[in-house]
Structure 1
Amino acid sequence: MAFTDAEKTDIRRFCGFPLFGGVPTQAFGHRFYQQYGTLEFRLNNMQPSEEAVIRVTYLANLYLLETDVISTRENLDTDQAAVWVHNKNEQRDRDRLFDSWSRRLCGFLGIPPGPALGDGGLTLVV
């Protein structure tokens, strides 16, 4: 079964690509990146077994991880309670885990991560 529009939107998002938008009227933007064209082609031309891997392994886990990242806001006010000590790096750790799974999805799709994921390395601004 082909991906729904909502699933395609989530896959693009998890892969670090901006929204697709409506009908293209200008020849610029992310739609004209080679990797974006490859992503769209693959989303529309997968075998059912490949779609199943994306739905069951990647999308299911990424939805949960995204919720986990958002839910860290509930713990940001606690520094220490009794013997329990909040992991001060919880937000960073969850972000890294989420980004790691997003990059794995990109790897499975055979595309480099989109602009929102960056290259995963250190960026120096001089």
Structure 2
Amino acid sequence: MSGTTTDPVADTPLTDAEMVQCRRYMGYPAMGGINSGQQSWRFFEVYGFNEWRMRNMAPDEYVQIRTFLTQCQTLETAIMGATDNLDTDQAAVWHHNRYEVQDRFGLYNRWRRQLCAFFGIPPGPGLRPQNRITI
């Protein structure tokens, strides 16, 4: 794909806002200000590799990343919409799926992990199970 205005998904490098979304969906914390002097440690860990990858992908890879970002955003929005039904178990013949939010989170997290796999890095701390201890 070429990055023209007629293309549905651009093959150009990610914008700063898209990189923020990538980090967030992949479970990594915000980077903060680049000029803060506290950034060098990140380049010796997965964080630095992740940042390098986001800035150095092939055009077709940028297209795929944007597809992942769109899907994650859609799934995240659907989770918020599913919370509207939490107060209703049954309405006439309609029965609420008690596991809808859990199911939607599972699908959302699956796509987030697929984004991590596409980048070739492990899921960040925000995407790991909370009961897991990492040493």
TM score, norm. by length of structure 2:
0.81
Q: Which runs of 5+ in 2 are unaligned?
A: 1-11
Residue aligning to 2:4: none
Structure 1 residue 27: Cα displacement: 6.3
Give the aligned CA root-mean-square deviation in angstroms: 2.1
**Count of aligned residue pairs for this structure pair:** 121
Q: How does 1:1-126 map to 2 (within 5 A)?
A: 1-22=12-33, 23-26=35-38, 31=42, 34-56=45-67, 58-118=68-128, 123=132
Contact 2:43 2:49 in 1 (8 A): no
Deviations 1:51-110 (A, max 9, x none): 011112x01111100101111121111111112110111111111110000000000000
Runs of 4+ in 1 over 2 A off after TM superposition: 23-29, 120-124
Q: What is the alpha-carbon distance in structure 2 between the residues aligned to residue 123 and residue 89 of structure 1?
A: 23
AA at the equivalent of 1:6:
A
Q: What is the alpha-carbon distance in structure 2 between the residues aligned to residue 101 and residue 68 of structure 1?
A: 14
Q: Which runs of 5+ in 1 are unaligned?
A: none
